[in-house]
Amino acid sequence: MSGGKVSTSDVTEQREATKSLTPLAYLLPLRLTVGWDWLDAGLRKLMLAPAKVNPSSSSFVLNKFVSFLPHAGPFTFLLKYFLENPSVGGTFLVTYAVAEVIVGVFLITGLLSRLAGFGSVVMAAALMPAYWLGSTCEDEWQIGILLVASSVVLMLMASGRKFGLDSYLFVKFGDRPISSLPVLRWIKFW
């Protein structure tokens, strides 16, 4: 179908512009799911079942680290350090839970999505000592690799620039690295 009144160059331009936006919009289900995955994990520990971060409770999550030990490889030392110093381990746990809530909320709202995506990659990779656990299938590893790969995509695509608060930030400030220092300048806020 050839348009009579609209110029061909205008149509091509519009098509190109739309095409470049469409893929980012399609990331929404992934951004919401990965965000909710973290938010759920953080909320369960901090609000819904706070016994999980209470050192004197039997459901204290640090106890789970004991079961990671046999095949934790290079992480064994760190896990034992956390377990033998439960106050340090507990602090790590609460910090991790708070980070889960922050990353979750940021991904869901599309705020600082590149930084949140980067945090999500690091946190998913940090579950590595548990990757060997999977009594019915390769459970923990499958969760881990999907989170790592999804987070890398959300980070690289700056997924909050569409359907997210980053759309305003990007228009206002453009690309912003977290620091001008080497390596750190590759990590962008949004």
Residues at the contact surface with other proteins, assessed by CB under 8 A: 58, 60, 62-64, 66-71, 73, 79-80, 83-84, 86, 125, 128, 131-135, 138, 141, 144-145, 148-149, 152, 156
Q: What does the alpha-carbon distance between residue 159 and residue 150 come to, in Å, rounded to a whole number?
A: 11
Q: How far is the CB of 38 from other proteins (least distance, A)?
A: 19
Q: Which is nearer to other proteins, 48 or 156 (CB)?
A: 156
Q: Which is nearer to other proteins, 25 or 71 (CB)?
A: 71
Q: Which is nearer to other proteins, 8 or 58 (CB)?
A: 58
Helix-helix angle 113-125:139-156, to 10 degrees:
160
Contacts of residue 83, Cβ cutoff 8 Å, sequence gap at least 6: 62, 65, 66, 89
Q: How far is the CB of 162 from other proteins (least distance, A)?
A: 17
Q: Which is nearer to other proteins, 85 or 179 (CB)?
A: 85
- In the chain, how many H helices and how many E strands? 8, 0
Q: Which is nearer to other proteins, 12 or 59 (CB)?
A: 59
Spatial contact of 154 and 30, defined as CB atoms under 8 Å apart: yes
Report the candidate in 147, 141, 164, 175 with the shortest Cα–Cα distance to residue 71. 141
Can you state the percent helix, strand and coil of the chain, rounding each to 5?
A: 75, 0, 25
Q: How far is the CB of 153 from other proteins (least distance, A)?
A: 8
